[in-house]
Amino acid sequence: MMNTRRLRRKAALALALATVGVTAAACSSSTASSGTTSTSTSASASTSAQAGSGAIKKGLLVYFIPKDTQNPYEVIADTGGEKALAALGGKVVVSSGTVDTAAAQIPSIQAAIQAHANAIVIAGNDPSALCPSLNQAAKAGIKIVSFDSDVTCGSSPNHLFINQANTAQIGESEVSLLAGEIGGKGQIAILSAAASATNQNAWIVYMKQELTKYPNMKLVSTVYGNDDPATSLQVLQGLLSAYPNLRGIISPTTVGIAAAAQYLDTHKNMLPHLTLTGLGLPSLMRKYVEDGTVAKFELWDPGNLGYLAGYAAASLASGMASLTPGTTFTAGTLGSYTVLAPTPGVGPSVVLGPPTVFDKANINNYHF
């Protein structure tokens, strides 16, 4: 019989692929360290999978450690990783906690070490707290890949970051989208995920830089919903109460923007003077775009992000890719990718591609 953990994961995947709004009820765990694990095993591919100039090893074991196992975005990304390893004749184990904390992810890193995994792909809930455990994994010969949200471990351990899009471009485009809708004037706020989330904080840095181009737009508050629907709703209501003249909200998190859209959908009297945008899943945002609650938002395909991370992990574990800037590896149907040189705060990285802006004209063309 399918166990409760797998049922939870399947429920999350169903939510991610649905075209309805996110529920306001929170899925939480009584302890931060409780985790969920699932395994996907593939048969050997009919032909030898290639990356760079050689073949990927068969039978690779890769641990995918998302921010949590119940976030619809993370579930889709993990599924992309499973697809990649299936094509390569390997096995993926998805393991993490049900809350977005480093403490909830550390047991999964230890499990990967005990299982003698070939690689770990992790979306960091904290930029540095995971580094001692990841360093232990690297010393055990496990290749480390971060995706979605980086870890800033310096040179120990060395790892490759799979960036969903250019970090500066995401922050700048979020502000630009909102400015275009509110005429570049008024009070705005940010509804983010966890306060420690590396990717969220990096985007917010560039949002603030972009705001200097709009002297009549003022960022009055940044609040954190911890990628939990109920918490996101709670801090949103507090935000609206504290700033009754708020003109715009940027929520660069799929859970946060869906929770905010659901609330505004039932409070349409706010829409003439309040605009919501951010990063969201088309499947969760379609209803709100079609009924006019949200005009525009953006994102990349999280399935492709996980797929690219899976190929990167397999290529590193097979010696067919390296962390040397300028080297390339092949990521299946996505084509070839080049490792970029480190920049301040970011080590060797690969960028999936630019985000897509969704609106009424194109949202029905996307189903993730």
**Taking the model in full, what pTM does it have?**
0.83
How is residue 44 annotated by DSSP? Answer: P
Tell how far CA 138 is from the center of its chain: 23
Beta bridge partner(s), residue 143? 119
Distance in Å from the first CA to the final CA of the chain: 29
Q: Is the pLDDT of residue 281 over 50?
A: yes
Each residue of 149-193: pLDDT tens digit? 999 887 767 899 999 999 999 999 999 999 999 999 999 999 999
CA-to-CA dists, residue 107 to 102, 114, 300, angstroms: 10, 10, 29
Q: Which residues contact 146 (CB under 8 A, 6 or more apart)?
A: 121, 122, 123, 124, 159, 160, 161, 162
Give the CA radius of gyration of the chain: 20
Residues 291, 278: Cα–Cα separation, whole Å: 17
Share of the chain above pLDDT 90, in %: 81
Q: Are strands 356-358 and 297-299 parallel, antiparallel or unpaired?
A: antiparallel
> Binning pLDDT at 50, 70 and 90, where does residue 54 land?
low
The phi-psi region of residue 68 (left if phi > 0; otherwise alpha if psi is between -120 and 50; otherwise beta) is beta
Beta strands 160-163 and 349-351: pairing type? parallel
Give the pLDDT of residue 308.
Answer: 98
What confidence score (pLDDT) does residue 359 get?
97
| Percentage of residues of the chain with pLDDT beyond 70 | 85
Whether 21 has a pLDDT exceeding 80, the answer reads: no
For 228-279, how does the pLDDT look when each residue is reduced to its tens digit (9 = 90+)?
999 999 999 999 999 999 999 999 999 999 999 999 999 999 999 999 999 9
Round to whole Å and give the CA distance between 196 and 237.
Answer: 22
